[in-house]
C-alpha cells in the first residue's frame, strides 16, 4: 500500500462529510452509512465466530465434552494455511490445508486423548484439554518459531467494493460473510437432511440408545470431532489472512465462542448461528456507539476510555441478560 | 558403570565451577513463551551476544521465563534474590511486570537494568538509585511520533491505542508534542484483533493521518486491515509495531509507513555495524530494537564491571551512571532519573531484497529526555 502524505481520503458522498468534533454524537452527525458499515462489520465478525462455535457446540452437545483445545485447532488451521501459502502461493490450497490439517489433528487427539475423557467429569476434561492447549502452543512454537507468520488475502480479493447507498466495503470481508453463511446453510442441511445428521441428532438425545441400535458410536464421535476441528481450522485460516498468525491466537476466540454457545443454547447449531451474530453485532456496535454516547456528557478522553471499558463488557452483559430470561440459552433444549 | 561416569563428570563440573568463582551474577527474567515471546527472545539473544563478545568468564547469567505473568515474575525475582543470590536483575519486557518486580528488587539492594519497559512512575516519583533504564521511558517514542506529525504537516490526526496504562501513556505522549487537531481518539480492547469498526470511524472522521500504538499482533492485524480498507492517509506509529520480528508478518501493508525508534539497523557507527553483522551471523536473523536494547544493557553492565566491583554498591552505581560504553545508538547518556537521553529517529518501512526492514529518514527528537525527570528526587 502506498501512503501519499497529505492525500486525504476522498469522500464519495456528502453524507460522509460528518462535521464531527471528535465523534460527537449529535443526531445528524451519526452517519447512516457508517452505521450500516458497522452492522456489516458486526455480521462478518459474527459469522466467523459461528465457524468456531459450531464445532464447540456440536462436540459439547453430542459427546458432552468441554474442549478447551478448540482454540488450538483454530491456530493449527492458520499456521497450516500460512505454511502452505508460503510454499505454493495459492490461497485456495492454503484453505484446503487448513481444513485437512485441523481435521487430522482433531482425529489424532480424539483417538488418543479425548476419547478417554467422555466418561470423566467436566473438571477432568477441562484439565486435560487445557494441557492440550499448552502442548499445541509450545509445539507450534517449536516448529515455526516465536515470531508471527505471514498470511495474506489473495490479490483477487483485495480492495473494496461499492455497495448500494455509496457504501464502500472490503471485498475480503464481504467474502467472509458469504462463505460463513454458506457454511451455516450447508451445516444445517447436513444435520437436518442426511443420515449422518440424523445420527448426530440422535447422539445428542440419547447416546446409549443409538449405540444399542447398532450405530458405531465411536466412529460417529470421531467424525463429529473432526468436523468441528476442520471448521475451526478454516476459521483460523480465513481470519489469519487479515489478522496475525501467531501462537496463542486461538484462546481469545475460544472465550468468545463459549459465550456464543451459552447464549445460543448448548448443542444447537441454529443457536450458535444466532448467538454468534448477536455477539458480533453487540461487540462491534458497542465499541462504536458507547464511547460516542459517553462523550455526550463526559470530557472526551474520559468518555472514550469509559466507553471502551464498558464496550469490552457488553457481550458478557448480553450473556447475563439472555441467561436471566432463558437459563438454557436461546435455543437450548428443555 | 555408566552411572559412575556421570557422577564423576558431575563432581568434576562442580569442582570447576567452585574453583572459578563467579564475580557477578545476573538474573534475567523475561518472556520466552506465549504470544509475546519474540520480544524476550530478542532481548535475551542481544544480551548474551554482548556477554559472549566480551570474552569475560566472571559473569554468570540465570535466565527464567516469566510467561508474561506478573505473579510468575514476582516469584522468579524472589527466587533469584533469595536462593540464587544474584547481584543484578534485568530482562523484563512489560510495564505491568516491571511495576510488580522492580520496586521490591531495588529495595533489597539489587541493581535493576531495564532492557525494555519504562513505566512513568519509575521515571518520576518512584525512581530509585539502583534502577537504570537502558531502553526508553514509555512515552518517548510516542512523543517523537507527535513531533513527526507536526513536521509532516498533519493537521487532523486520528489516534488509537489499547485501553491499558501503556496505551494511555502512548496517547498522552503523542498529544504532548502534537499541535494539530484530533479527528478522533479511540481506545481499543487490549488484545483486540479486529479493527473494522475503528477503521470505519477513521474513514468517516475525515482524518488526514493516523497515529496508532498497537504492539505485537494487534499492530499486524491493524496494518493489514487498514491497508485493505481503501483509506489512503499516512500512518505513524512507534517502532513496536514495526520491529524486525513482526514486519515480515505484516508484509506489503507496512511499506512506506513512518515509525519512531531510538534504534535502527542503519544508525551509522562502528558498534552498530558490528552488532548487526554479528547478531545476524550468530542467530541467522536481523536484530530488532529489542535485541539492540538487550545488547546495550549487557554492554552497560560490562562497562561498570570494568570500573568497580558490584559489592561496592556506591562505586558500581557511579560507574553505571557514567554510561561509559559504546552504544549501538551512538550517543547515549543517563539523565538525573537514570533514564536515557538520546536521539529518537523517524524510520520508514522498506523492502531490501525479500526482507522488510526500516531505514532512517530523519531525526524526530534530538537529545530527548523524558517528561518525568523533574518529579524524581535523585
Taking only the tens place, the pLDDT of each residue in A114-124 is 999 988 899 99
Is residue B16 scored above 60 in pLDDT? no
Distance CA B305, CA B295 (A): 16
List the one residue out of A55, A42, A41 whose CA is nearest residue A258: A55
| B293 & B253 share domain | no
List the one residue out of B140, B148, B142, B146 whose CA is nearest residue B182: B146
Taking only the tens place, the pLDDT of each residue in A185-234 is 999 999 889 988 888 888 877 777 888 888 888 888 899 999 999 999 99
| Residue B75, domain member (yes or no) | yes
| Residue A129, domain member (yes or no) | yes
| Residue A125, domain member (yes or no) | yes
Taking only the tens place, the pLDDT of each residue in A58-75 is 998 888 899 999 999 999
| B86 & B183 share domain | no
| Residue A22, domain member (yes or no) | no
If one counts the domains in chain B, the total is 2
What pLDDT shows up at residue B10? 53
| Residue A295, domain member (yes or no) | no
Put simply, the answer to whether A3 touches B246 (Cβ < 8 Å) is: no
Of B228, B253, B256, which has the smallest distance from its Cβ to A170's Cβ? Answer: B228
CATH of the domain at B362: 3.40.50.2300
| B190 & B324 share domain | no
* pLDDT, averaged across chain B: 91
List the one residue out of B302, B295, B299 whose CA is nearest residue B277: B295
Put simply, the answer to whether A37 touches B200 (Cβ < 8 Å) is: yes
Domain that holds residue B103: 2-136+268-334
List the one residue out of B80, B169, B79 whose CA is nearest residue B121: B169
| B72 & B29 share domain | yes
Put simply, the answer to whether B163 touches A312 (Cβ < 8 Å) is: yes
Residue of A nearest to B183 (CA): A22
Best mutation target, A135, A141, A254, A308, to test chain B (most B CBs within 10 A): A308
Task: State mean pLDDT over B262-291.
Answer: 95
| B238 & B166 share domain | yes
| B54 & B198 share domain | no
Put simply, the answer to whether B182 touches A22 (Cβ < 8 Å) is: yes
Distance CA B105, CA B91 (A): 13
| Residue A291, domain member (yes or no) | no
Taking only the tens place, the pLDDT of each residue in B188-207 is 888 888 899 899 999 989 99
- Report the 3 state secondary structure along chain A: CCCCCCCCCCCCCHHHCCCCCCCCCCHHHCCHHHHHHHHHHHHHHHHHHHHHHHHHHHHHHHHCCCCCCHHHHHHHHHHHHHHHHHHHCCHHHHHHHHHHHHHHHHHHHHHHCHHHHCCCCHHHHHHHHHHHHHHHHHHHHHHHCCCCECCCCCHHHCCEEEEHHHEEEEHHHHHHHHHHHHHHHHHHHHHHHCHHHHHHHHHHHCHHHHHHCCCCHHHHHHHHHHHHHHHHHHHHHHHHCCCCECCCCHHHHHHHHHHHHHHHCCCCHHHHHHHHHHHHHHHHHHHHHHHHHHCCCCCHHHHHHHHHHHHHHHHHHHHHHHHHHCCCCCCCCC
Instruction: Give chain A positions within 8 Å (CB) of B184.
Output: 20, 22-23
When pLDDT is cut at 50, 70 and 90, the band that residue B314 belongs to is very high
| B169 & B257 share domain | yes
Domain that holds residue A91: 32-247
Is residue B19 scored above 90 in pLDDT? no
Residue of B nearest to A281 (CA): B197
Cell of B8: 564423576
| B128 & B18 share domain | yes
Put simply, the answer to whether A20 touches B205 (Cβ < 8 Å) is: yes
Of A34, A146, A308, which has the smallest distance from its Cβ to B187's Cβ? Answer: A308
Put simply, the answer to whether A244 touches B193 (Cβ < 8 Å) is: yes
Taking only the tens place, the pLDDT of each residue in A132-177 is 999 999 899 889 987 889 898 898 998 888 888 778 889 999 999 9
Percent of chain B at pLDDT above 90? Answer: 76
Instruction: Give chain A positions within 8 Å (CB) of B235.
Output: 3
| B129 & B32 share domain | yes
| Residue A170, domain member (yes or no) | yes
| Residue A50, domain member (yes or no) | yes
| B275 & B353 share domain | no
Three-state secondary structure call for residue B373: helix
| Residue A197, domain member (yes or no) | yes
| Residue B339, domain member (yes or no) | no
Put simply, the answer to whether B193 touches A249 (Cβ < 8 Å) is: yes
Chain A / chain B CB contacts < 8 angstroms: 182
| B348 & B274 share domain | no
If one counts the domains in chain A, the total is 1
Task: State mean pLDDT over A101-112.
Answer: 95
Instruction: Give chain B positions within 8 Å (CB) of A255.
Output: none
| B223 & B360 share domain | yes
Put simply, the answer to whether A1 touches B227 (Cβ < 8 Å) is: yes
Put simply, the answer to whether A5 touches B153 (Cβ < 8 Å) is: yes
Amino acid at each position: 500500500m502506498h501512503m501519499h502524505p497529505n492525500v486525504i481520503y476522498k469522500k464519495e458522498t456528502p453524507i460522509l462529510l460528518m462535521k464531527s468534533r471528535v465523534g460527537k454524537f449529535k443526531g445528524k452527525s451519526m452517519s447512516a452509512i457508517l452505521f450500516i458499515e458497522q452492522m456489516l462489520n458486526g455480521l462478518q465478525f459474527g459469522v466467523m465466530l459461528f465457524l468456531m462455535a459450531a464445532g464447540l457446540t456440536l462436540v459439547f452437545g453430542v459427546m458432552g465434552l468441554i474442549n478447551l483445545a478448540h482454540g488450538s485447532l483454530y491456530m493449527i488451521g492458520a499456521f497450516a494455511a500460512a505454511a502452505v501459502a508460503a510454499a505454493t502461493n495459492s490461497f485456495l490450497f492454503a484453505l484446503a490445508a487448513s481444513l485437512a490439517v485441523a481435521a487430522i489433528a482433531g482425529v489424532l487427539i480424539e483417538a488418543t486423548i479425548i476419547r478417554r475423557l467422555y466418561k470423566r467429569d467436566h473438571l477432568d476434561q477441562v484439565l486435560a484439554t487445557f494441557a492440550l492447549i499448552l502442548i499445541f502452543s509450545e509445539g507450534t512454537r517449536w516448529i515455526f518459531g516465536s515470531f508471527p507468520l505471514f498470511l495474506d488475502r489473495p490479490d483477487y480479493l483485495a480492495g473494496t467494493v461499492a455497495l448500494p447507498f455509496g457504501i464502500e466495503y472490503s471485498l475480503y470481508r464481504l467474502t467472509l460473510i458469504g462463505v460463513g453463511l454458506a457454511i451455516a446453510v450447508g451445516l444445517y442441511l447436513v444435520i437436518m437432511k442426511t443420515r449422518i445428521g440424523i445420527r448426530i441428532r440422535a447422539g445428542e438425545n440419547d447416546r446409549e440408545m443409538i449405540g444399542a441400535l447398532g450405530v458405531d458410536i465411536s466412529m460417529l464421535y470421531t467424525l463429529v470431532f473432526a468436523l468441528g476441528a476442520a471448521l475451526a481450522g478454516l476459521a483460523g485460516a480465513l481470519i489469519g489472512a487479515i489478522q496475525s498468525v501467531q501462537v496463542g491466537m486461538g484462546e481469545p476466540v475460544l472465550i468468545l465462542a463459549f459465550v456464543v454457545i451459552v447464549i445460543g443454547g448448548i448443542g444447537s447449531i441454529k443457536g450458535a448461528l444466532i448467538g454468534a451474530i448477536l455477539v458480533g453485532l453487540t461487540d462491534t456496535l458497542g465499541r462504536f456507539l458507547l464511547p460516542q454516547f459517553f462523550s455526550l456528557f463526559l470530557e472526551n478522553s474520559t468518555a472514550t476510555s469509559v466507553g471502551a471499558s464498558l464496550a469490552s463488557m457488553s457481550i458478557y452483559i448480553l450473556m447475563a441478560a439472555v441467561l436471566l430470561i432463558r437459563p438454557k440459552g436461546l435455543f437450548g433444549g428443555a | 558403570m555408566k552411572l559412575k561416569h556421570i557422577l564423576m563428570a558431575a563432581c568434576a563440573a562442580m569442582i570447576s565451577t567452585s574453583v572459578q568463582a563467579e564475580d557477578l551474577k545476573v538474573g534475567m527474567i523475561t518472556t520466552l513463551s506465549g504470544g509475546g515471546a519474540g520480544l524476550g527472545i530478542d532481548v535475551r539473544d542481544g544480551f548474551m551476544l554482548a556477554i559472549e563478545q566480551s570474552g569475560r568468564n566472571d559473569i554468570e547469567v540465570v535466565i527464567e521465563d516469566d510467561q508474561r505473568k506478573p505473579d510468575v515474575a514476582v516469584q522468579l525475582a524472589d527466587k533469584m534474590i533469595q536462593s540464587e543470590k544474584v547481584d543484578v536483575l534485568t530482562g523484563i519486557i512489560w510495564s505491568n511486570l516491571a511495576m510488580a518486580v522492580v520496586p521490591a528488587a531495588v529495595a533489597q539492594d539489587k541493581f535493576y537494568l531495564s532492557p525494555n519497559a519504562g513505566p512513568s512512575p519509575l521515571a518520576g516519583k518512584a525512581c530509585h538509585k539502583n534502577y537504570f533504564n537502558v531502553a526508553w521511558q514509555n512515552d518517548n517514542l510516542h512523543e517523537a511520533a507527535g513531533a513527526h506529525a507536526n513536521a509532516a504537516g498533519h493537521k487532523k490526526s486520528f489516534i488509537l491505542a489499547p485501553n491499558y496504562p501503556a496505551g494511555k501513556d502512548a496517547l498522552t505522549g503523542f498529544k504532548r508534542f502534537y499541535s494539530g487537531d484530533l479527528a478522533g481518539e479511540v481506545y481499543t480492547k487490549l488484545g483486540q484483533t479486529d479493527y473494522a469498526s475503528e477503521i470505519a470511524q477513521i474513514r468517516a472522521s475525515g482524518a488526514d493521518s493516523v497515529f496508532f500504538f498497537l504492539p505485537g499482533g494487534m499492530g499486524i492485524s491493524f496494518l493489514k486491515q487498514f491497508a485493505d480498507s481503501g483509506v489512503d492517509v499516512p500512518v505513524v506509529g512507534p517502532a513496536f509495531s514495526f520491529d524486525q520480528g513482526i514486519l515480515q508478518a505484516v508484509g506489503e501493508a507496512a511499506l512506506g509507513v513512518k515509525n519512531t525508534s531510538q534504534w535502527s539497523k542503519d544508525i551509522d557507527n562502528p558498534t552498530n555495524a558490528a552488532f548487526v553483522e554479528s547478531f545476524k551471523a550468530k542467530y541467522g536473523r536481523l536484530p530488532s530494537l529489542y535485541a539492540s536494547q538487550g545488547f546495550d544493557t549487557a554492554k552497560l553492565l560490562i562497562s561498570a564491571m570494568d570500573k568497580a566491583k558490584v559489592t561496592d554498591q556506591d562505586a558500581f552505581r557511579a560507574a553505571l551512571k557514567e554510561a561509559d560504553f559504546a552504544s549501538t545508538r551512538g550517543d547515549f547518556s543517563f539523565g538525573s532519573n537514570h533514564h536515557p537521553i538520546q536521539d529518537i529517529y523517524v524510520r520508514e518501512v522498506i523492502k531490501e531484497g525479500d526482507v522488510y526492514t526500516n531505514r532512517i529518514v530523519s531525526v524526530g527528537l534530538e537529545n530527548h529526555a523524558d517528561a518525568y525527570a523533574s518529579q524524581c528526587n535523585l
